[in-house]
C-alpha cells in the first residue's frame, strides 16, 4: 500500500466558460466536482496505475461528507481521513475554453485544533505500518504547526518508510531539513527555498539542505533530477496545451510508483513526465488521458545533465 497525506483536502470544482472576462456574468458550459488536494490527486493516479493506495488527512462539514462519499466510489483508493470540527475547503477552477487558461480560487481550509493534530499523529503512525512509501503533499490548513511535515518525515523515517515531500514555503524548508527521500518542488518553490533561479545550482543546494533526491518541475521544460545515482533532465516531446491543474501531482505519482517498483531513475522520470503531460491534455482537472500517456511514454527524452 502507498500512503498519501493531504492535510488540506478539498472538493475541487471545475467550471468551463467560453471566455473568461472580468466584471461580467458568465454562462458555465460544464461543471465537474471531485475530491481534491494534492495527495488525493496523487492517490487517484496511483490507483489508475494499479497501486493500492490509502488517502489520509483531515475532513469535515458538509463538503467533507461529499469528499468522503466520492472517494468511496474511487476504485483502488481507500479513504482513511480523520474527521475534524471545521469544514473541508473548496477549490474553484475556471477554464477559459477560448484560450485554455485556468483561473484558480483556493479556500484556506478548516481551523485545526491542537487535539485534532495530536490525534492525526497517532492515526498516521498506525497507517505507516502497512505502507511501502508515503507522499506528503500540499498546503497546511490553519492551526497545523508550520513544522508539521518535518514531524511526519521523521516519523516515516523511524518506521523505515520512504517519504516524498511536495509542498512550498516554510513547510518545505523545514521538511527538507528532516531529510526526506525525495522532494519535488516546481521552479518557483525551488528558487524560494534556495535563493537561486538557476535550477542546476538550486537542486544542489536543496540536496545539501537534507533531501536525498531532488526532482524539480520546470513546466514545459520537463523535470530536472539530482539523485545519489546521478543527474538527469527529462523533457516531453511537445508542449501540451490544456488545463495544468494536477499535472504536478501526476508527476509525483509517477515518481512514487517508480520508487515502489524499484525502477531506474530514467524510467521513473519518463513516467512522471508522460503522466504530467497527459494530465494537461485531460478534459477534467487532475485526471490523465491514458492514450496520450502511453503514446508519450516512449517519446520522453531523458539525458544525463
Catalytic residue among 166, 205, 249, 289: 249
How many CA atoms within 13 Å lie on the side-chain side of 23?
0
Q: DSSP secondary-structure letter at 112?
A: P
Decide if 10 contacts 91 (C-beta within 8 A): yes
Beta bridge mates, 77: 53
Active site residue 249: yes
Q: Burial of 61 by CB count in 10 Å (0-12 exposed, 13-18 middle, 19+ buried)?
A: middle
| CB atoms near residue 195 (< 10 Å) | 10
Q: Residues 278, 279, 281, 287: is their CA dihedral positive or negative?
A: positive
CA distance 51 to 127: 16
Instruction: Point out the residues that are catalytic.
Output: 249
Amino acid at each position: 500500500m502507498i500512503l498519501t497525506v493531504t492535510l488540506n483536502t478539498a472538493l475541487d470544482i471545475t467550471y468551463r466558460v467560453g471566455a473568461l472576462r472580468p466584471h461580467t456574468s458568465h454562462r458555465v458550459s460544464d461543471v465537474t466536482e471531485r475530491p481534491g488536494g494534492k495527495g488525493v490527486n496523487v492517490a487517484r493516479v496511483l490507483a489508475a496505475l494499479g497501486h493500492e493506495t490509502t488517502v489520509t488527512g483531515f475532513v469535515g462539514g458538509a463538503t467533507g461528507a461529499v469528499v468522503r462519499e466520492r472517494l468511496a466510489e474511487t476504485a483502488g483508493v481507500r479513504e482513511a481521513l480523520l474527521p475534524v470540527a471545521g469544514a473541508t475547503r473548496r477549490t474553484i477552477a475556471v477554464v477559459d475554453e477560448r484560450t485554455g487558461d485556468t483561473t484558480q480560487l483556493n479556500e484556506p481550509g478548516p481551523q485545526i485544533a491542537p487535539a485534532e493534530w495530536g490525534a492525526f499523529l497517532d492515526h498516521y503512525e498506525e497507517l505507516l505500518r502497512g505502507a511501502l512509501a508515503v507522499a506528503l503533499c500540499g498546503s497546511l490548513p490553519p492551526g497545523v504547526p508550520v513544522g508539521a511535515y518535518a514531524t511526519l518525515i521523521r516519523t516515516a523515517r523511524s518506521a523505515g518508510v520512504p517519504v516524498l515531500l511536495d509542498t512550498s514555503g516554510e513547510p518545505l524548508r523545514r521538511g527538507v531539513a528532516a531529510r526526506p527521500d525525495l522532494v519535488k518542488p516546481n521552479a518557483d518553490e525551488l528558487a524560494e527555498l534556495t535563493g537561486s533561479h538557476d535550477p542546476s545550482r538550486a537542486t544542489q543546494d536543496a540536496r545539501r539542505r537534507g533531501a536525498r533526491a531532488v526532482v524539480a518541475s520546470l513546466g514545459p521544460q520537463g523535470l530536472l533530477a539530482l539523485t545519489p545515482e546521478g543527474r538527469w533532465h527529462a523533457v516531453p516531446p511537445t508542449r501540451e496545451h490544456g488545463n495544468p491543474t494536477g499535472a504536478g501531482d501526476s508527476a509525483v505519482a509517477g515518481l512514487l510508483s517508480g520508487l515502489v517498483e524499484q525502477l531506474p531513475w530514467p524510467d521513473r522520470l519518463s513516467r512522471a513526465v508522460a503522466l504530467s503531460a497527459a494530465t494537461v491534455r485531460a478534459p477534467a482537472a487532475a485526471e490523465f488521458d491514458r492514450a496520450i500517456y502511453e503514446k508519450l511514454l516512449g517519446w520522453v527524452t531523458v539525458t544525463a545533465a
